[in-house]
Structure 1
Amino acid sequence: MINGFTLHDTNTAPAASGEMLNGIQKSWGFVPNLHRILAQSPAALEAYSTLWGIAEKTSFTPQERNIVYLAIIYENECTYCMAGHTNLSRMAKVEPEAISAVREGRPIADAKLEALRQFAAKVTRQRGVVSQAEVAAFKAAGYDNQAVLDVLVLAATKLISNYTNHLAETPNDSFMKGAEWNPPGKLKPAA
């Protein structure tokens, strides 16, 4: 048990989650600790898994998708997801300097990716309340209304994972070794 949450496997998870965990094992070759925690709620595991699949269908390239994820994770200060998505970003061939920039909260050299990072960060930090000027700046960098909405799909996906990891204090998986991250520490627990 971690912070009152169990790292489930197919033997301990509710039956509906067990079937999904089997599918995750087949797809990924292992079951990440996040999914093992989410397995307590078949609805939560299904919601995250479904959104993850839908996120793959957005208008973003794999590199752009990972920049958005990293920007959202940075804003939400999720150490588990930052470690995981750092390595997933490497696998997606995101430039190492771009990964480092997002992890450190600094601009990306590529102007279009920087506009994407900034927009995803603002949407997350400001809970979707962005100005017309901020949307216009995002579009001026080469994005459109579909991309605006696609950022929301990725934000919804990360809301489930980032918040679960905060609540459960999910331990990193072995594949994350070397990608650990210390957040800037802006978030404070609710009073």
Structure 2
Amino acid sequence: MTFASHTAETAPEGSKEMVEGARRKFGFVPAPVARIAESPELLATFLGNTAAFDRSSLGTLEREVVIMTLATRVECHYCVALHSATMTRQAVDAEVIAALREGRPLADTKLEALRRFTDAVLATGGGVAEEDLNAFFAAGHDRRNALDVVLGVGTYTLSTFANRLTGAPLDAAFEAHRWEPHHTGRSATA
């Protein structure tokens, strides 16, 4: 089954305004928005959750660490490319971006603790071992940060799963940041 790529004109009534808002923000309608517009509820929930995550206790780069950890784990080509482009625009060090894209440890100990904690949340469905939580806290994070990781995981699970389900193609604007999974032995379907 193929999913339509909607415009503001073709989207269901409940999605039209959100699709138009994405077009104004990006200058085009990103393929994921165009595809998930089929469900106004999913699109509204994702956009609302994204806004909430942006207001969370995690800083800009910390949020990107959470997103990229999830996106590479579930092999969402679109999210990895888009967020690589975002970090490049934010002048994040290229080595940090490369490490996140490859699932390698980060040199910054606080960011690495965040990456490892996010991975533990994903691997355990939130049932993180006390030692992993203590390592997260020892690196300078707090309880609110831990819960905001869960907010980020929930938010971006919606988009990564929807992008993969709908087969959202990579838009030309993010082509320079194309990403292919490395198949590290973790299965996105297991």
TM-score of the aligned structures, taking structure 2 as reference length: 0.94
Distance, in Å, in 1 between the alignment partners of 2:102 and 2:96 is 10
Partner of 1:83: 81
Partner of 1:99: 97
Which one is further off, 20-29 or 161-170?
20-29
Q: Is 1:77–1:187's contact at 8 Å kept on the other side of the alignment?
A: no
Which one is further off, 166-175 or 87-96?
87-96
Q: Give unpaired runs (5+ residues) of structure 1.
A: none
Distance, in Å, in 2 between the alignment partners of 1:37 and 1:81 is 14
Q: Is 2:75–2:188's contact at 8 Å kept on the other side of the alignment?
A: no
Distance, in Å, in 2 between the alignment partners of 1:189 and 1:54 is 28
Identify which of 49, 53, 56 aligns with 2:51: 53
Could you tell me how far 1:155 is from its partner in structure 2?
A: 0.6
Question: CA, structure 1 residues 114+32, in 2 after alignment: closer, same or farther (shift >3 Å)?
Answer: same
Which one is further off, 27-36 or 95-104?
27-36
Q: Which amino acid aligns with 1:5?
A: F
Runs (4+) of structure 1 exceeding 6 A deviation are: none
Q: Is 1:67–1:99's contact at 8 Å kept on the other side of the alignment?
A: no
Distance, in Å, in 2 between the alignment partners of 1:27 and 1:53 is 14
Identify which of 14, 17, 42 aligns with 1:19: 17
1:18-52 deviations in Å (ceiling 9; x for gaps):
11111222233322111111100000010011011
Q: Is 2:46–2:155's contact at 8 Å kept on the other side of the alignment?
A: yes
Count of residues in Structure 1 that have an aligned counterpart in Structure 2: 188
Q: Which amino acid aligns with 2:22?
A: I
Identify which of 148, 151, 166 aligns with 1:150: 148
Distance, in Å, in 2 between the alignment partners of 1:22 and 1:152 is 29
Partner of 1:187: 187
Distance, in Å, in 1 between the alignment partners of 2:109 and 2:143 is 19
TM-score of the aligned structures, taking structure 1 as reference length: 0.93
Partner of 1:68: 66
Identify which of 2, 5, 18 aligns with 1:4: 2
Which one is further off, 180-189 or 140-149?
180-189
Q: Is 1:75–1:125's contact at 8 Å kept on the other side of the alignment?
A: no
Could you tell me how far 1:188 is from its partner in structure 2?
A: 5.2
Q: Is 2:74–2:188's contact at 8 Å kept on the other side of the alignment?
A: no
Could you tell me how far 1:175 is from its partner in structure 2?
A: 1.3
Partner of 2:161: 163
Distance, in Å, in 2 between the alignment partners of 1:139 and 1:31 is 40
Q: Give unpaired runs (5+ residues) of structure 2.
A: none
Could you tell me how far 1:184 is from its partner in structure 2?
A: 2.6
Identify which of 114, 134, 137 aligns with 1:116: 114
Q: Is 1:52–1:157's contact at 8 Å kept on the other side of the alignment?
A: yes
Please report the RMSD computed on the Cα atoms of aligned residues, expressed in angstroms: 1.4
Question: CA, structure 1 residues 188+113, in 2 after alignment: closer, same or farther (shift >3 Å)?
Answer: closer
